[in-house]
């Protein structure tokens, strides 16, 4: 089975655990058997592997998410990188061209496209396999998943079947109706549109030539910023008449807000926290190394991270985005392909960061034009390379790197933690030049 997982979003609705580089699918809230936690993307990746160990998985995503994907899933997963955001049709066209031109998947093979972040059970992935098999037959141009509604939602789109004069079934699509309309649609047999569809590669390659002028991967990538900005639903699905609909009646939740996310948590507290016995329906998600105490609260979510603290009524948490949009703040935590960093302190001409390198991983060999850096090793071991010279690192070691100095650091067999102090008048993530080592 070929799968394209769409991984987008800026994560504003799950602030402060998500930010511009850490979307909701990377937040680790699902407890594993060993007591550790996994994210939405790790959960769905594992579910796919349990149903189809040989599935070919490609994640279509922005440049800002590539490091987090490699950090959480490893380096083997395929990634189709969007140079910028151009809505879902361009993203799917680029990923389809990536499969064909870079991964050399035949035009006659089928692929299933689905979001990276639904909360589903394994029956969902069995349904994906059925969709892929049906698309491979080529009887219909497009195979869609219709999710059986559990309530008249105003947040989801609907697929409405109707019988034409010749006895065939056609489908119409409606986005986010009123509750009254949703009830009417459900009575008429409508299903939720989960944004899941399957097709032969040749179908979308032809659509790409028709709507974007080309299906060549390199041409699409190089000219991506100038492509039409249009959704796949609007550009393709709503105009298609050759459709097969596969119903899915299993568990499916869109965990896009704190209200829905906490419904999927199997424990009320993650991290340091305590609730007294008068609290009802309260969840705490705390990434800080300080305790959180809740008393006498009802229907509340408390979320704390280096980026901020949220205390909200669960229903009101759905309206968080405009408030978060008004914040102008340094991103305080991010996962990278080599590990992670957490900003500890920000001053006018300095910034202090705690850096964690995974075992055997290393930063890019790079330099800065406008800041000096000092590394102090606090745990683990590793190797620093400064202007071509190697140096073994152990706790207590200090490495100084003046402006323009080329440097990198590599985690040892148990990983490496260090405190990085940046000193300069114009500290910016843009002040970085990569070099060959």
Q: What is the pLDDT of residue 168?
A: 75
The three-state DSSP-derived secondary structure of the chain is CEEEEEECCCCHHHCCCCCCCCCHHHCEEEECCCCCEEEHHHHHHHHHHHHCCCCEEEEEEEHHHHHHHHHHHCCCCEEEEECCCCHHHHHHHHHHHHHHHHCCCCCCCEEEEEECCEEECHHHHHHHHHHHHHHHHCCCCEEEEEECCCCCCCCCEEEEEEECCCCCEEEEEECCCCHHHHHHHHHCCCEEEEEEEEEEHHHHHHHHHHHHCCCCHHHHHHCHHHCCCCCHHHHCHHHCCCEEEEEECCCEEECCCHHHHHHCCCCCEECCEEECCCCEEEEEEECCCCCEEECCCEEEEEEEECCEEEEEECCHHHHCHHHHHCCCCCCCEEEECCEEEEEEEEECCEEEEEEEECCCCECCCEECCCCEEEEEEEEEEEEEEECCEEEEECCCCEEEECCCCCEEEEEEEEEEEEEEEEECCCCCCCCCEECCC
State the 10-residue block means of pLDDT for the chain, 437 residues long. 86 83 86 90 93 93 89 91 92 97 96 92 93 94 94 87 77 86 90 94 97 96 94 91 93 87 91 96 95 97 94 93 86 90 93 96 95 97 96 97 96 96 91 93
Q: What is the pLDDT of residue 255?
A: 84
Q: What is the pLDDT of residue 10?
A: 62
Q: What is the pLDDT of residue 257?
A: 86
Q: What is the pLDDT of residue 221?
A: 96
Q: Domains in the chain, start-ordered, CATH in brackets?
A: 2-254 (3.90.550.10), 267-316 (no CATH), 338-434 (2.60.120.10)
Q: What is the pLDDT of residue 75?
A: 84
Enter the pTM of the model: 0.84
């Amino acid at each position: 089975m070929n799968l394209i997982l769409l991984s987008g979003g800026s994560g504003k609705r799950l602030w402060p655990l998500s930010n511009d580089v850490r979307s909701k699918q990377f937040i680790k809230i699902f407890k594993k058997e060993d007591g550790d936690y996994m994210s939405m993307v790790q959960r769905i990746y594992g579910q796919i592997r349990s149903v189809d160990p040989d599935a070919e998985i490609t994640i279509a995503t922005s440049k800002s998410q590539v490091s987090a994907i490699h950090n959480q899933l490893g380096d083997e997963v395929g990634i189709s990188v969007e140079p910028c955001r151009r809505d879902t049709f361009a993203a799917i066209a680029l990923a389809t061209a990536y499969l064909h031109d870079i991964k050399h998947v035949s035009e006659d093979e089928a692929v299933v496209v689905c979001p990276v972040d639904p909360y589903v059970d394994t029956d969902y992935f069995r349904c994906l396999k059925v969709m892929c098999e049906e698309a491979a037959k080529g009887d219909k141009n497009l195979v869609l998943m219709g999710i059986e509604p559990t309530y008249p939602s105003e947040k989801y789109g609907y697929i409405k079947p109707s019988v034409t004069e010749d006895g065939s079934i056609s489908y119409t699509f409606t986005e986010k109706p009123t509750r009254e309309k949703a009830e009417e649609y459900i009575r008429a047999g409508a299903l939720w549109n989960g944004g899941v569809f399957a097709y032969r590669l040749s179908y979308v390659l032809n659509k790409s030539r028709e709507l974007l002028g080309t299906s060549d991967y390199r041409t699409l990538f190089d000219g991506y910023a100038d492509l039409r900005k249009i959704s796949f639903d609007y550009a393709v699905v709503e105009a298609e008449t050759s459709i097969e609909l596969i119903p899915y009646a299993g568990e499916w939740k869109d965990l896009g807000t704190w209200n829905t996310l906490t419904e999927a948590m199997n424990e009320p507290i993650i991290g340091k926290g305590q609730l007294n016995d008068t609290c009802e329906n309260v969840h705490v998600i705390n990434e800080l190394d300080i305790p959180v105490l809740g008393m006498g609260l009802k229907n509340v979510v408390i979320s704390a991270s280096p980026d901020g603290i949220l205390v909200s009524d669960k229903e009101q948490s759905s309206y968080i985005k405009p408030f978060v949009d008004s914040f102008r703040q340094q991103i305080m935590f991010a996962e990278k392909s080599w590990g992670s960093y957490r900003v500890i302190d920000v001053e006018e001409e300095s910034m202090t960061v705690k850096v964690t390198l995974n075992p055997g991983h290393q930063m890019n060999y790079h330099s800065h034009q406008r800041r000096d850096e000092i590394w102090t090793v606090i745990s683990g071991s590793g190797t620093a390379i400064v202007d071509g010279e190697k140096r073994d690192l152990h706790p207590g070691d200090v490495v100084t790197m003046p402006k323009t100095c080329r440097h990198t650091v590599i985690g040892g067999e148990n990983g490496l933690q260090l405190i990085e102090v940046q000193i300069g008048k114009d500290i910016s993530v843009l002040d970085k030049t990569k070099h060959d080592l």
